[in-house]
Amino acid sequence: MNTDDPTSVADRSHARPAVAVAVGRTAVSFPRGERFREPALPVRDRLIVALDLPTLAAAERMTQALRPTVSWFKVGSELFTAAGPEAVAMVQSHGGRVFLDLKYHDIPTTVARAVAAAARLGVAMVTVHLAGSVQGLRAIADALASGGARAGRQPGARPWLLGVTRLTSLEGSTTTETVIGAAQLALRSGFDGVVASAREAAAIKHDCGNGFVVVAPGIRPPGSEPHDQRRIATPTEALSAGADYLVIGRPIVAAASPTLALEQVLAEMESVGVGK
C-alpha cells in the first residue's frame, strides 16, 4: 500500500488461492502472497490512541505523556463535543496526527460540507457512516477531493475518507457479510478505506484490495476487559489479519500507567514482525 497517496488502490485480483486466518472466533480467507504486504511503517506509526476523555485538559495531559512514543491520536464524539476544534489543534500543536472519528451520518450535502470542514482543520483521517447510496457517498468523496485540505500531512494532501461499516459493539450471524458489503460500497463510492473490526480485515483486503485501508477498533491486549466491545481482537490478531491501523483507547488511557500500557502494546505489535 502506498501510504503517501490516499487515492491509490493496489491489485484487487481474486485469482490467488486463499489461506485461512483466525481472528477471535472467526476464520476468514486471505489471498496467498498478500498477507504480509503491509505498509512500510514502524508499528508505532500504525497505532492510534483514542483520546476518549471528558476534557481538553485531560486529553492534553495524555497527549503530552504519549506523544514522544506515538504520533496518531483519535478525537471522537466525547472530546470533540467537549472541546470542539480546539481538540484537533491541541494534538497538532504537539506534533500529532488526528483521526477525527465523528462518524458523520446525515444527508449527503450536510456530510459533504462537514468532511470539507474537517479537511480544513488539517485532520488526517475522517469517518462517515456507510448508510446511503453510491451516488450520495460518491458526492461526499468528491466534495472532500475538491475541497483542498490545507495540512498536507500524512497520509496525504487531504484526509483519508473512511467508511464506518458496523460498530464493534455489535455482532450477529450476518455481521461479516454486512461488513464486507459495506466495504465494497465504500470502495465503489471512492472512499479510501473503512473502519471495521479485525475479524473482517482479511476478507475486506481480499475483496477490496490490499491498498484499501482498514482501521480496526475494538483492540484489546490479552487479558484486557472487553467493556462494551464485542468483536474484539488482540494486536497480534489484528496485524496478522491485515489491519493497517489499530485503535486502542481504554486499555491505554484508563491504565494505572498509560505509558507502560502503551509500551506493552507496542512490544506485542513488534513481535508480529510486520512494519519496518
Which residues have CB under 8 Å from 35's CB, separation 6+? 19, 21, 202, 240, 242
Q: Is residue 246 part of a domain?
A: yes
Q: In angstroms, what is the C-alpha Rg of the chain?
A: 17
Report whether 158 contacts 191 (CB < 8 A): no
Evaluate whether residue 251 is within a structural domain: yes
Cis peptide before 42 (omega within 30 of 0): no
At 150-168, the pLDDT tens digits run 434 344 478 999 999 876 5
pLDDT-derived band at 33, boundaries 50, 70, 90: very low
pLDDT (0 to 100) of residue 263: 96
Number of domains in the chain: 1
Which residues form the catalytic set?
A: 103
Instruction: Establish if 67 belongs to a structural domain.
Output: yes
* Longest pairwise C-alpha distance within the chain: 52
In a domain, 99, yes or no: yes
Tell me what pLDDT residue 151 has.
39
Residue 179 has pLDDT above 70, yes or no: yes
What pLDDT does 229 receive? 65
Q: Look at residue 138 and tell me if it is in a domain.
A: yes
Determine what percent of the chain is predicted with pLDDT higher than 70: 75
135 found inside a domain: yes
Residue 16 lies in a domain: no
What CATH number should be reported for the domain holding residue 174?
Answer: 3.20.20.70
DSSP state string for 107-121: -HHHHHHHHHHHHHH
pLDDT one-digit tens code per residue, 137-151: 999 999 898 864 443
Position 47 in a domain: yes
pTM: 0.80
Q: In terms of residue numbers, what domain contains 253?
A: 38-269
Quick: pLDDT tens for 45-77.
999 999 999 999 999 999 999 999 999 999 999
| Own/partner pairs, 165-172, CB within 8 angstroms, 24+ separation | 165/130, 165/194, 165/195, 165/196, 165/200, 166/196, 166/197, 168/197, 168/217, 168/218, 168/229, 168/230, 168/231, 168/232, 169/228, 169/229, 169/230, 170/230, 170/231, 171/230, 171/231
